[in-house]
Amino acid sequence: MAFHHVRFPLDIALGARGGPERKTDVVTLAGGGEQRNGRWAHSRRRYNAGYGVKSRADMQAVLAFFEERRGRLHGFLWRDGIDHSSGGAVPLPGDQAIGTGDGVKTGFQLLKRYGAAFDPYFRPIRKPVEGSVRVAVAGVERTSGWAVDGTTGVVSFSVAPAVGAAVSAGFLFDVPVRFDTDRLDIEWSSFDGAEAPNIPLVEILP
């Protein structure tokens, strides 16, 4: 298996459905109360690309993409139409806090925060869009002296940020996914139309 750094056709992805999934065990006690246990530290996203197929050309593009990925074998990039930015449409270097300098550490994982101060969830971002990442240290944007790994989302500084310096970043990102089926069930609905009601995709977690 391998990971192909190519993005699923954007015009088809924009018509898809999906979102995050959690794994929670719920046990009902004899008295009617509950015990709940979250089994996953991170959510996993699932999508159905079939809703985005609107024409024969769309279906041919999906078919070619599916065959090149060998079904479930190889992963690829997916653009979530709702959630693909650190903040607004244009990333800003202060969008997301990704760490605090200690004078030694040079690598910082890109993160996106969900929720407020009560119990926020920090999602590791591992597939930033090339050229979109902006970084700040102690509130001042850095235009050099750092690099980001597009395969892991780790920002590496040539010189470690000073002790107590807040490190932040802004970015666009994709979701690493794979097809969750080895079979495409295509319906030829008209001369120039085709439908594939179910094209499931699942996020690849490390």
- Cα separation, 48 vs 199, in Å, equals 5
Tens digit of pLDDT for each residue in 79-107?
Answer: 999 999 999 999 999 999 999 999 999 99
Its pTM stands at 0.92
Nearest of 199, 205, 178, 174 to residue 69 by alpha carbon: 178
What's the pLDDT score for residue 53?
85
Predicted pLDDT at 202: 98
Cα atoms in the 13 Å half-sphere on the side-chain side of 153: 22
Q: What residues of the chain score a pLDDT lower than 70? A: 189-196
CA 204 to CA 5: how far, in whole Å?
13
As a whole number of angstroms, the distance between CA 9 and CA 58 comes to 9
> Which H or E element spans position 155?
strand 154-157
For residue 93, CA distances in Å to 110, 124, 147, 159, 193 come to 12, 17, 14, 18, 44
Tally the residues of the chain.
206
Do 19 and 32 meet the contact criterion of CB atoms below 8 Å apart?
A: no
- What residues contact residue 24 under an 8 Å CB cut-off, 6+ apart? 36, 37, 38, 39
Question: Do strands 140-142 and 134-137 pair parallel, antiparallel, or not at all (unpaired)?
Answer: antiparallel
Q: What is the pLDDT of residues 46-58, one digit of tens each?
A: 999 998 888 888 8
pLDDT value at residue 70? 97
Please give the pLDDT value at position 20. 97
Residue 179's pLDDT is 98
